[in-house]
């Protein structure tokens, strides 16, 4: 009896779940919310990573870029440059 009840519950869950979790198409408004990183550069000791943060500029139909840094131990990030066209972060050999 319990196994039948469990089978019915599992069957209903499998059939109903896709209805609630339907995906939608990406719209142009979604594209303006995309943020990604580019050109990551790790320090010689591995304690920090500098990277370019890229965002979509809706007003100019282009991209804004700024250089950010993140600590590998804590994950704390901070913005190093104000942008809007900063790129190619590099660490000096002495850190």
| pLDDT tens-digit readout, 46-59 | 999 999 999 988 78
Alpha-carbon gap, residue 86 to 46, rounded angstroms: 23
**Bridge partners, 62 (sequence order):** 57
Cis geometry, peptide bond prior to residue 44 (ω within 30 degrees of 0): no
In the block, tokens 């920090």 appear at 48
Give the C-alpha separation, 74 to 55, whole Å.
Answer: 24
Where the chain has pLDDT below 70, the residues are 1-21, 95
Residue 53 β-bridge partners: 37, 66
């Amino acid at each position: 009896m319990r196994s039948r009840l469990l089978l019915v519950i599992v069957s209903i869950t499998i059939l109903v779940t896709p209805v609630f979790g339907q995906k939608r198409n990406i719209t142009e408004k979604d594209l303006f919310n995309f943020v990604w990183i580019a050109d990551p550069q790790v320090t010689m000791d591995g304690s920090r990573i500098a990277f370019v943060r890229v965002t979509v500029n809706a007003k100019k139909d282009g991209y804004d870029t700024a250089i950010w840094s993140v600590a590998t131990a804590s994950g704390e990030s901070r913005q190093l440059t104000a942008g809007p066209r900063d790129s190619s972060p590099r660490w000096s050999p002495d850190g």
